[in-house]
Amino acid sequence: GPVLLIKCAWGGTSLDSNWRPPSLSTKEKPTGRLFTASLAHIKKVLANLGKYHPDYDPKAGYEIAGLVWFQGWNDAGNKEYGKQLVHFIKDWRKELNAPKLPVVCGLLAHAAWKQNTFAGDVNSGMLYASKHPEIKGTVEIVNTLPYMPIELG
């Protein structure tokens, strides 16, 4: 059937600040502007699917089939990344009324992949989230190393 990808992507961002989920919001660290902006964008698209996908059939409806999360270089050193990611996923699900929304996290690839894949805060945080009891079985992690150009090695 027809598929519509809604892309919300910004480089050089942090889960701890730019994408900070509402459930972790404080006066000192409010909800991230990109969490808010991307959610607004997604809701705008969902409210008028025919505009963004000419083959959309309102009688058939739609399903939000998943979220792809590929972020983290700016969170190196963020010891709370895994816990923040769990909140992020739970908040997205709540906002989109999709309690079992599948999530695929792209692990950060690097030249020392085999030696220390999960030594960093981000990749180990994604692994933590994938095994967290509240969301386990709905969050997968993917090795992105095969897609990293060798010349960037």
β-strand partners of 54: none
Q: In terms of Cα–Cα distance, which of 103, 30, 99 is closest to 70?
A: 103
Query: pLDDT tens for residues 59-112?
Result: 999 999 999 999 988 998 999 999 999 999 999 999 999 999 999 999 887 766
Write a three-state SS string for 29-40. CCCCHHHHHHHH
Q: How would residue 130 be classed by pLDDT, with cut points 50, 70 and 90?
A: very high
pLDDT of res. 108: 85
Q: Which residues contact 74 (CB under 8 A, 6 or more apart)?
A: 12, 13, 14
pLDDT of res. 111: 63
Which helix (H) or strand (E) segment is 106 a member of? Answer: strand 103-106
Mean of the per-residue pLDDT values of the chain: 90
- The position carrying tokens 């808010």 is 36
Query: pLDDT tens for residues 22-55?
Result: 999 999 999 999 999 999 999 999 999 999 998 8
β-strand partners of 140: 104
Compare 56 and 144 and report the one with higher pLDDT. 56
